[in-house]
Structure 1
Amino acid sequence: MKKNNYSYIGIAFIILLFGILFVPKIVDRIKNNDITRNDRISVGQDNNFEDKGELAFIEINGKPKKVPAFSFINQDGKTITQEDYKGKVYVVEFFFTTCPTICPRMNRNLVEIQDTYKMDKDFGVASFSITPELDTPEILKAYAAKYGITNPNWNLMTGDETEIYKLANIGFNIFVGKVEDDEVGFEHSGDFALIDKNGFIRSRLDGFGNPKIFYKGIISEQEKMDEDGNEQEITMLKEDIKKLLNE
């Protein structure tokens, strides 16, 4: 009996010692928000990207990347430049009105975002046509009416094709190109870029601390994910627009 009593006393002592040594450290980690990504589920939209408040800047050669100067004609025949978006948070896309595949899905998602922020005068969208020779201001205006585009800060723009492709591929690093063997004849990214009030490209960080850069624009919130298992990022984009509007 004495041996058993000694065993119980020993076990109790070990438990007490564990509590004294380790519990305070765990509490301190929680208080200091020092629980790592491996210790918990991430706070972000999914487990790939973290939501830690302030959004990152996209840096090129150590400097935050800013939207380059541009000048195009919108659906109302008005000249629009980057200066028209100064002081506004906006989403950028490249599309064309006759696109039969991803563009309708992208613009339905953008209209949903538009309606989320319909009371905020500092939110906008910049849509650049990659078939400017076909997408005249009149065509763009009809397209806007078809999709329910009502935000006065949503400009659907047309202009010089070379300048638009340069803006996409170099200015925003969003791929746009012509494909001779494709029946549509064009290929472009279904991603959106998010721009802050000062004209800088912004995004949240991934699990390795790198900027996400772009947001998937094709998958809707209702779909949740596509056939390849990629999760929708419209919810994430809505959250990050709100952050920039509050900056």
Structure 2
Amino acid sequence: MSKKTNYSYVGITFIILVFGIIFIPKIIDRVSDGDIIRDESRSEGVSKITSGNSQKSDLSYLEINGEPKKVPAFSFTNQDGETISNEDYMGKVYVVEFFFTTCPTICPIMNRNLVEVQNQFNGLENFGVASFTISPEIDTPEVLKAYAEKYGITNPNWHLMTGDETAIYKLANEGFNLYTAKDDSAEGGFEHSGNFALIDKEGFIRSRTDDFGNPKIFYNGLIPEADGVDDEGMSQEITILKEDIAKLLKE
């Protein structure tokens, strides 16, 4: 073997030695620090895990301009004369409705259905209901208290709230996108949605998706679970509401 060949082997050996001394420790450090992803499937799985090691459910977020919609701040008086705000619901899964105690049509159905939901999750401290009256002049805390007793509302996190009328209507129409309006031609003098909104522990509006992958946004509160369907063939959604509450409670 020639001297030239020997020099080549010596040169290559020297380069390998230098690479090992300089670069291998740096690569090890990057792996230790998590800079290098060793398995893409593992990284995808980790991205789905939230704080507290709880798994996010498959329920969708209502997005406005690409951002998940969060419940706006509110503060009203409940049936016990206590001030209740959105902060009191943080860390809880809760259902939202807008109603009034003198409603002669859909409100009794809605609240009987909500009592069924309440009883399904009886004793759970992280489940609640937020009921906002759209007739605050009539629905004082005392009136709301009597209404709660009449319908068997026992969950301590079920607050029937009254307060400034303008603030309530803005919260309904803009905050939760649940339609409410005064209408002298309507029975009882008001028009309002018979739907429920579902809110997660962090204050975001959540729902399952339709067949096209779009959020359903709301749950029909007008058909009792036991009925199955109404006269027009529309299916009840109290069952899926219960299922989705259970999903959010596990997040």
Specify the TM-score bucket, using the shorter chain as the normaliser. Answer: 0.7 to 0.9
Secondary structure at the counterpart of residue 107 of structure 1: helix
Structure with greater helix share of residues: 2
Question: Residue 225 of structure 1 aligns with which residue?
Answer: 229
Q: Give CA deviations for 1:11-57 in whole Å, capped at 9, x if unaligned.
A: xxxxxxxxxxxxxxxxxxxxxxxxxxxxxxxxxxxxxxxxxx51000
TM-score (normalised: structure 2)? 0.77
Q: How many angstroms apart in 1 are the aligned matches of 2:84 and 2:141?
A: 12
Question: Residue 79 of structure 2 aligns with which residue?
Answer: 75
CA RMSD, Structure 1 to Structure 2 (Å): 1.1
TM-score (normalised: structure 1)? 0.78
Aligned-residue offset at 1:119: 2.2
Question: Residue 197 of structure 1 aligns with which residue?
Answer: 201
Secondary structure at the counterpart of residue 222 of structure 1: helix
Identify which of 146, 167, 170 aligns with 1:166: 170
Question: Residue 107 of structure 2 aligns with which residue?
Answer: 103
Q: How many angstroms apart in 1 are the aligned matches of 2:93 and 2:186?
A: 35
Q: How many angstroms apart in 1 are the aligned matches of 2:195 and 2:247?
A: 20
Aligned-residue offset at 1:228: 1.1
Aligned-residue offset at 1:235: 0.1
Secondary structure at the counterpart of residue 205 of structure 1: coil
Question: Residue 127 of structure 2 aligns with which residue?
Answer: 123
Identify which of 86, 93, 108 aligns with 1:89: 93
Question: Residue 187 of structure 1 aligns with which residue?
Answer: 191
Question: Residue 7 of structure 2 aligns with which residue?
Answer: none
| Structure 2 unaligned spans of 5+ | 1-56
In the alignment, does 2:186 pair up with 1:145? Answer: no
User: Structure 1: which 4+ aligned runs deviate by more than 4 Å?
Assistant: none
The alpha-carbon distance between structure 1 residues 92 and 183, as it changes in their structure 2 partners (threshold 3 A), is: closer
Question: Residue 26 of structure 2 aligns with which residue?
Answer: none
Q: Give CA deviations for 1:59-105 in whole Å, capped at 9, x if unaligned.
A: 00000000000000000000000000000000000000000110000
Q: How many angstroms apart in 2 are the aligned matches of 1:99 and 1:225?
A: 23
Aligned-residue offset at 1:183: 4.3
Secondary structure at the counterpart of residue 72 of structure 1: strand
Q: How many angstroms apart in 2 are the aligned matches of 1:203 and 1:182?
A: 29
Paired residue type of 2:162 = T
Sequence identity, in percent?
A: 71
Q: How many angstroms apart in 1 are the aligned matches of 2:226 and 2:109?
A: 12
In the alignment, does 2:181 pair up with 1:177? Answer: yes
Aligned-residue offset at 1:174: 0.3
Paired residue type of 1:143 = Y
Identify which of 232, 235, 238 aligns with 1:234: 238
For this pair of structures, how many residues does the alignment match? 196
Q: How many angstroms apart in 1 are the aligned matches of 2:185 and 2:192?
A: 15
Indicate if the aligned counterparts of 2:110 and 2:222 stay in contact, CA closer than 8 A. yes
Aligned-residue offset at 1:107: 0.3
